[in-house]
Structure 1
Amino acid sequence: MERPAETTWRPPRACEDYLSEFRHCKSFRNRFHHFYAYGTALSCQQWKVDYQNCREWESHRLGEAKDALQKSERMRLAEQGNFTPVWKLRQEPPSDWHRPLDQEDQQN
């Protein structure tokens, strides 16, 4: 007999990972850094909600907790896609990659 997908699904992270992220987010050092770098206060509430949903899924297999975790992870991944990389990635090496570097130009 085949098991339903509801019981075989696992959260994308361990529940302890959500709790660890929440604790890191709430730390004084992290909050200070975020305020210094971005000028805004950091909200850590989503990590706490994700941890609670993960524990609900682990203990009661609630579908609402599963859906909330999936939605949160999708939003987190979409947020990461909003940032452009600092460096433009090359598709191939430069045409003169084999030539020696000019030592005089590098010392100045």
Structure 2
Amino acid sequence: MMRNFNEVVSKPPRVCEDYWTEFRHCKSLRNRFHHYYTYGAMPSCQQWNEDHNNCKQWEMHRSPEAKEALQKSERNRVAEQKNFTPVWQLRQEPPRDWHMPLNQEKPQDS
């Protein structure tokens, strides 16, 4: 069966239930405590709720405003993830002695 291009484009980037799950996780006591302990402030979960509502509007009513808002939110989320630098420097090539056996018999200094 051949799919129409508009059918593929008209689907949200994620399943709407994913946004609801993220919202519930964000509002959970454990996450709120962890976020407050780590960052000193409560997490803002409103965007997940708005994304869920926009996703439902997009699926049920094919709302162009909801579609644009959801796509913008996803683009912002991806751009925000790119702002974090990795903890470790990524290797460009393996170490020179990668083929040597590990020295596991090394005596312990007492």
TM-score range, shorter chain: 0.7 to 0.9
* Whole-angstrom CA distance in 1 between matches of 2:23 and 2:6: 29
Deviations 1:23-51 (A, max 9, x none): 00000000100111121210000000000
Residue 7 of structure 1: CA displacement? Answer: 7.7
Q: Is the 8 A contact 1:7 1:61 kept in 2?
A: no
In structure 2, the residue matched to 1:64 is: 65
With normalisation by structure 2, the TM-score equals 0.86
Mapping for residues 2-81 of structure 1, pairs under 5 Å: 5=6, 8-81=9-82
Long gaps (5+) in structure 1: none
* Whole-angstrom CA distance in 2 between matches of 1:51 and 1:68: 11
Counterpart of 2:37 in 1: which secondary structure?
helix
With normalisation by structure 1, the TM-score equals 0.87
In structure 2, the residue matched to 1:95 is: 96
Matched AA of 1:53:
N
Q: Aligned Cα RMSD in Å?
A: 2.1
Deviations 1:51-72 (A, max 9, x none): 0001111111010000000000
Percent identity between the two aligned chains: 66
* Whole-angstrom CA distance in 1 between matches of 2:87 and 2:8: 42
Residue 102 of structure 1: CA displacement? Answer: 2.8
Long gaps (5+) in structure 2: none
Matched AA of 1:24:
H
User: 1:86 and 1:67, CA in 2 relative to 1: closer, same or farther beyond 3 A?
Assistant: same
User: 1:62 and 1:6, CA in 2 relative to 1: closer, same or farther beyond 3 A?
Assistant: farther
* Whole-angstrom CA distance in 1 between matches of 2:75 and 2:34: 26
